[in-house]
Every structure is written in structure tokens, then in C-alpha cells.
């Protein structure tokens, strides 16, 4: 994964301090959100211009994995929001949408690159789960 700081082709994060709105929080799009580590525009706070990185996958595996990471990240952000605001209907709907996208992306990844969960291992010898790369390894 190549990471470029302040890449020109990359979006400039938009930040507008506003009062926190319970009903309709303003959201970054999914690709911006994972890049920044934050889905919520009102909560984004950069540090010395460091918080702006484009994620550039170097191969098909990284690309497919980034898709899973991106949608899972957005779903997780909405999950934390809903823990505190469980009655927000739009966010519940959005959670379902992104959880489904993550599920589809995971299926696509696993078809080509092996299981992300042990229970998704196919009926094959040797057992797929045991095969690397593991997440902390470079080639991952």
C-alpha cells in the first residue's frame, strides 16, 4: 500500500464547525471516511495537515481488501453512532446499506484471496484458513 501525503488528486477534507445535530449528521463519503478515520464531518479535526492521505492499493488483493475495509469502517462508524442514537431512522437504514456492501465486498475478496473468517473456508485440502498472508505481514 502506497500512501501519499497531501496528494493533489486527493480530496481536501471539508470542515465546517457546526452545532452537533442529532437527526442528520453530515457524512464524508466512504473513501474519504476510511482515509481520514472519521465518517462525521462535524467531528473531523486535522492535525498539522497530517490527516490527509490517499490510500493507493498496489495490487488486486490490496484493492479488494481496501473495499472490505472501507465499507466495514463506515458500517462501524454508524454502529457507534447508533449505540448512542438508536432511534435515528436514516442512520439505521444507512447501517443496513453499508453492512450489506461490506458483506458483498467480503464475498468478492474471499472468492479470490481466501477466507477472512475461519468459517468461510472452503471444503478444500489444505485447510484454507491456515494460509497467509496474515494481516501484519507486508504482502497483505
Partner 1 sequence: MWLYSKKLQYPISIKNKDLSMAKYIITQFGGPNGELAASMRYISQRYTMPDEKGKALLTDIGTEELGHMEMVSTMVYQLTQGASIEEIKAAGLQSYYTEHGCSLFPVDSNGVPFTAAYFAATGDPVADIAEDMAAEQKARAVYENLMNQTQDPDLLAPLSFLRQREIIHYERFRELYEEYVKKYYQPDIKQNC
- Residues that bind partner 1 in the complex, under the rule CB under 8 A: 1, 3-5, 34, 36-40, 43-45, 47-48, 50-51, 53, 55, 57-58, 62, 65-66, 68-69, 72-73, 76-77, 79-81, 83-84, 86, 115-118, 129, 134-136, 138, 140
Query: CB of 106: closest distance to partner 1 in angstroms?
Result: 9
What is the distance between the alpha carbons of residues 83 and 60, in angstroms, rounded to a whole number? 35
- Return phi, psi of residue 73, to 5°: -65, -45
1 and 56 in contact (C-beta within 8 Å)? Answer: yes
Q: Which is nearer to partner 1, 3 or 104 (CB)?
A: 3
3-state secondary structure of 40: strand
Query: CB of 99: closest distance to partner 1 in angstroms?
Result: 13
Q: Which is nearer to partner 1, 30 or 36 (CB)?
A: 36
Q: Which is nearer to partner 1, 43 or 90 (CB)?
A: 43
What is the distance between the alpha carbons of residues 14 and 5, in angstroms, rounded to a whole number? 17
Query: CB of 67: closest distance to partner 1 in angstroms?
Result: 11
Query: CB of 81: closest distance to partner 1 in angstroms?
Result: 7
What is the distance between the alpha carbons of residues 4 and 76, in angstroms, rounded to a whole number? 25
What are the cell numbers at 100?
A: 450489506
Amino acid at each position: 500500500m502506497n500512501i501519499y501525503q497531501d496528494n493533489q488528486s486527493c480530496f481536501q477534507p471539508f470542515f465546517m464547525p457546526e452545532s452537533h445535530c442529532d437527526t442528520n449528521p453530515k457524512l464524508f463519503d466512504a473513501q474519504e471516511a476510511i482515509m481520514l478515520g472519521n465518517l462525521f464531518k462535524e467531528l473531523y479535526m486535522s492535525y498539522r495537515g497530517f490527516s490527509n492521505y490517499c490510500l493507493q492499493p498496489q495490487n488486486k488483493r490490496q484493492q479488494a481488501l481496501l473495499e472490505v475495509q472501507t465499507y466495514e469502517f463506515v458500517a462501524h462508524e454508524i454502529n457507534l453512532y447508533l449505540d448512542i442514537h438508536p432511534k435515528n431512522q436514516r442512520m439505521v437504514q444507512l447501517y443496513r446499506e453499508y453492512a450489506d456492501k461490506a458483506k458483498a465486498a467480503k464475498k468478492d475478496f474471499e472468492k479470490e484471496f481466501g477466507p477472512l473468517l475461519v468459517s468461510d473456508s472452503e471444503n478444500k485440502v489444505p485447510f484454507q484458513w491456515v494460509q497467509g498472508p496474515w494481516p501484519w505481514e507486508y504482502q497483505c
